[in-house]
């Protein structure tokens, strides 16, 4: 809940068409920086590429092999904006990466390369304002709330308890990950529930500096090129179901989670830590997850 990551050692649900992630071969990652100053102005760069010459955009570019996400972002910001904690690239320093950089107040006219960044900028402001609380923030109305009944399906029992994982492909992307796991765990009972993907809690990526050490432990090249999205989802029973005659029947809210179809692989785990419950409730109440925009 505080941005940490766990090593992903296996995938519980993966479509047949899933392939290993190898940077620049089967996957390509784009990083972009939404950076604000103390006036809530956003950092913008003027493009030098012919197809979008003199138009403005946020610093963005492809991750290079061997980079972490942070390293790729820092490189792009430095190359395109010349950003060095105060100074920005000027027209005298124009190169193939960009023509110049500036702080934009989001009001002054600016010819944008694309309007897709506007939602990112708005969300960045909101996230910084509402979703970066001090550690240990408590929720006063958590007692008795539905999150006290929150449980996570965990793979069991031969390995230590862990969160389930699902592979994303073109036809089953991030929005489907939670559905695939729940369907695999619940079987036919899956169709009596709604699975709502609330958003991304965090992103895990293991770059090649870390991978080099693991290769000495007999891991294969490219195995660490994938990214793992830690997703917060909500499982809600369908309160209105149909009987054999097709008539709508309201079902009372259950006091226990639905039974898993394959207990040798999944089990429900009750969250014991009140701090974790409060943290989850706070993120759900304030929409403090990163939204997912997906065609699938």
**Span 84-122, pLDDT tens digits:** 766 899 999 999 999 999 999 999 999 999 998 998 899
Q: Could you give the CA distance from residue 197 to residue 294 in angstroms, rounded to a whole number?
A: 12
Assess contact for 185 and 235: CB atoms under 8 A: no
Given a cut of 60, whether residue 140 has pLDDT beyond it is: no
Q: Could you give the CA distance from residue 270 to residue 273 in angstroms, rounded to a whole number?
A: 9
- Going from the C-alpha of 149 to that of each of 109, 141, 145, the distances in angstroms are 50, 14, 8
- Provide the pLDDT for residue 151: 37
Mean pLDDT of 187-194: 89
**Span 51-65, pLDDT tens digits:** 999 999 999 999 998
Mean pLDDT of 174-178: 81
Q: pLDDT over 90 for what percent of the chain?
A: 28
Given a cut of 50, whether residue 231 has pLDDT beyond it is: yes
Q: How many CA atoms lie within 13 A of 151 on its CB side?
A: 17
Dmax over Cα atoms in the chain, in whole Å? 77
- Going from the C-alpha of 169 to that of each of 18, 173, 177, 196, the distances in angstroms are 6, 5, 10, 19
**% helix, strand, coil for the chain, step of 5:** 25, 25, 50
Mean pLDDT of 200-226: 59
More confident position, 284 or 224: 284
b vs e for 85-99, b when ≥16 Cβ sit within 10 Å of the residue's Cβ?
A: eeebbeeeeeeebbb
More confident position, 6 or 200: 200
Mean pLDDT of 283-293: 79
- Provide the pLDDT for residue 166: 87
Under DSSP, the state recorded for 149 is G
The length of the chain, given as a count of residues: 296
Q: Could you give the CA distance from residue 274 to residue 262 in angstroms, rounded to a whole number?
A: 29
- Provide the pLDDT for residue 20: 79
Given a cut of 80, whether residue 31 has pLDDT beyond it is: yes
Neighbours of 277 (CB within 10 A): 19
**Span 217-227, pLDDT tens digits:** 334 444 568 88
Given a cut of 80, whether residue 185 has pLDDT beyond it is: yes
């Amino acid at each position: 809940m505080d941005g940490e990551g766990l090593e992903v050692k296996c995938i519980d649900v993966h479509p047949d068409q899933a392939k290993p992630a190898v940077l620049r071969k089967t996957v390509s990652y784009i990083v972009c920086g939404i950076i604000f100053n103390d006036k809530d102005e956003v950092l913008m760069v003027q493009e030098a590429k012919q197809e979008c010459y003199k138009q403005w955009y946020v610093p963005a570019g492809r991750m290079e092999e061997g980079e972490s996400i942070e390293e790729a972002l820092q490189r792009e910001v430095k190359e395109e904006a010349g950003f060095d904690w105060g100074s920005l690239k000027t027209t005298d320093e124009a190169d193939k990466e960009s023509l110049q950089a500036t702080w934009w107040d989001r009001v002054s006219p600016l010819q944008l390369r694309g309007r897709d960044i506007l939602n990112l900028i708005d969300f960045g402001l909101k996230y910084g304002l509402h979703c970066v609380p001090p550690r240990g923030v408590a929720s006063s109305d958590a007692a008795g709330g539905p999150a006290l009944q929150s449980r996570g399906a965990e793979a069991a029992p031969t390995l230590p308890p862990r969160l389930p994982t699902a592979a994303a492909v073109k036809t089953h992307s991030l929005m489907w990950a939670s559905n695939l796991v729940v369907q695999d765990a619940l079987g036919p009972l899956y169709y009596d529930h709604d699975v709502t993907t609330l958003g991304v809690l965090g992103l895990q990526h293991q770059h090649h500096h870390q991978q080099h050490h693991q290769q000495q432990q007999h891991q294969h090249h490219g195995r660490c090129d994938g990214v793992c999205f830690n997703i917060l989802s909500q499982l809600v029973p369908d309160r209105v179901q149909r009987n054999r005659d097709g008539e709508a029947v309201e079902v009372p809210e259950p006091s226990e989670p639905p039974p898993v179809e394959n207990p040798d692989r999944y089990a429900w785990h009750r969250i014991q830590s009140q701090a974790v419950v409060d943290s989850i409730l706070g993120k759900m109440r304030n929409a403090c997850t990163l939204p997912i925009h997906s065609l699938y």
